[in-house]
């Protein structure tokens, strides 16, 4: 019973990591841009959402509706203004640029919002739960997981079947060849980053409902997003979802063994996958 509970809590935790990992899988997995500011962008969106919610008195679902276009705009501007200038065969320039952006964003946010911890009032939603045969399942974590499944499915379908998805895959495999066939790689990248940051807007609302956010919090969750993408396999959308769930379960089981081991257990599973199956669980290319 104890372990069944741990397994369920682990899957729910994985749903949260999947939300962080989805934007990352587009940027890191498909476009090979290492975005160190991923976590900081989420915190920025969360703080904007919290301020917006207080200002206009709107609930969490309306905040999501508000944050998706803001996130998309932010992502588009990020790619157009910064990342498109440093993108190329080498991954190092984008890493350095986003590292600088991360530091700048943290300081900017602290100037505006101060170092206080903030959260989004959920009107009881965040603490509601249902009792299924003796195991309590939180409504909010369930919602997070369901949203993650929906987003993963949507993103995967978009990459597979839509003209934009084809263009993006083509551009990331060989941007010059793609350009010859009439694809503008930079425009495609801008749209992709817009989508990635828009997804972060959704993750931001859930994060500020279940915990708190403060300007320096960004990098802490970044590592889980990277791990999920790598466990699942670079470029595979369902892979990074699976990676996130694996990470969540590993942590939850670890916590039950010893509350100090959970996070370590997650890292160990990540290292194990890296050693045994470096291409990731669901990657097609070896």
Minimal distance, residue 117 CB to another protein, in Å: 4
Asked if 242 contacts 281 with a C-beta cutoff of 8 angstroms, the reply is yes
Closest CA to 238 of 193, 282, 196, 285: 282
- Piece in contact with another protein (CB under 8 A), picked from 87-95, 235-243, 257-265, 274-282: 257-265
Cα(45)–Cα(68) distance, integer angstroms: 9
One residue of 85, 136, 146, 271 binding another protein per CB under 8 A: 136
| 33 near another protein, rule: CB under 8 A | no
Cα(167)–Cα(15) distance, integer angstroms: 29
| 132 near another protein, rule: CB under 8 A | no
Burial of residue 265, with CB atoms counted within 10 A of its CB: 0-12 exposed, 13-18 middle, 19 or more buried: buried
What secondary structure does DSSP assign to 26-81, as a single string?
A: IIIIIS----TTHHHHHHHHHHHHHHHHHHHT--HHHHHHHHHHHHHHHHHHHIII
Minimal distance, residue 119 CB to another protein, in Å: 4
Instruction: For residue 136, list its beta bridge partners.
Output: 131
DSSP H/E element including 203: helix 185-210
**Looking only at residues 139 through 198 of this chain, which bind another protein when binding is defined by CB under 8 A?**
139-141
- Piece in contact with another protein (CB under 8 A), picked from 39-47, 81-89, 106-114, 271-279: 106-114
One residue of 56, 88, 127, 162 binding another protein per CB under 8 A: 127
| 227 near another protein, rule: CB under 8 A | no
One residue of 118, 166, 186, 277 binding another protein per CB under 8 A: 118
Which residues contact another protein by CB under 8 A? Answer: 2, 5-6, 9-10, 13, 16, 107, 110, 114-119, 121-122, 124, 126-129, 131, 136-141, 210-214, 216-217, 220, 251-252, 255-256, 258-260, 262-263
């Amino acid at each position: 019973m104890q372990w069944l509970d741990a397994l369920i809590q682990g899957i729910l935790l994985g749903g949260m990591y999947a939300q962080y990992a989805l934007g990352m899988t587009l940027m890191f997995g498909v476009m090979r841009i290492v975005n160190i500011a991923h976590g900081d962008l989420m915190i920025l969106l969360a703080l904007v959402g919290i301020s917006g919610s207080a200002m206009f008195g709107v609930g969490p679902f309306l905040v999501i509706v508000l944050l998706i276009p803001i996130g998309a705009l932010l992502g588009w501007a990020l790619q157009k203004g910064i990342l498109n200038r440093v993108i190329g065969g080498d991954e190092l320039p984008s890493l350095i640029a986003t590292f600088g952006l991360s530091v700048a964003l943290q300081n900017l946010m602290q100037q505006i919002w101060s170092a206080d911890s903030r959260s989004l009032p959920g009107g009881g939603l965040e603490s509601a739960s249902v009792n299924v045969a003796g195991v309590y399942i939180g409504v909010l974590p369930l919602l997070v997981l369901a949203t993650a499944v929906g987003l993963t499915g949507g993103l995967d379908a978009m990459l597979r079947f839509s003209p934009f998805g084809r263009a993006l895959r083509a551009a990331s495999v060989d941007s010059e060849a793609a350009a010859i066939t009439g694809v503008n790689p930079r425009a495609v990248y801008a749209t992709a980053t817009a989508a990635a940051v828009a997804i972060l807007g959704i993750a931001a609302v859930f994060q500020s409902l279940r915990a708190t956010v403060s300007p320096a919090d960004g990098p802490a969750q970044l590592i889980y997003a990277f791990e999920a993408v790598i466990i699942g396999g670079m470029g595979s959308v369902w892979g990074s979802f699976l990676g996130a769930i694996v990470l969540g379960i590993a942590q939850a089981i670890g916590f039950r063994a010893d509350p100090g081991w959970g996070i370590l257990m997650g890292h160990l599973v990540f290292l194990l996958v890296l050693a045994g199956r470096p291409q990731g669980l669901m990657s097609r290319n070896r």
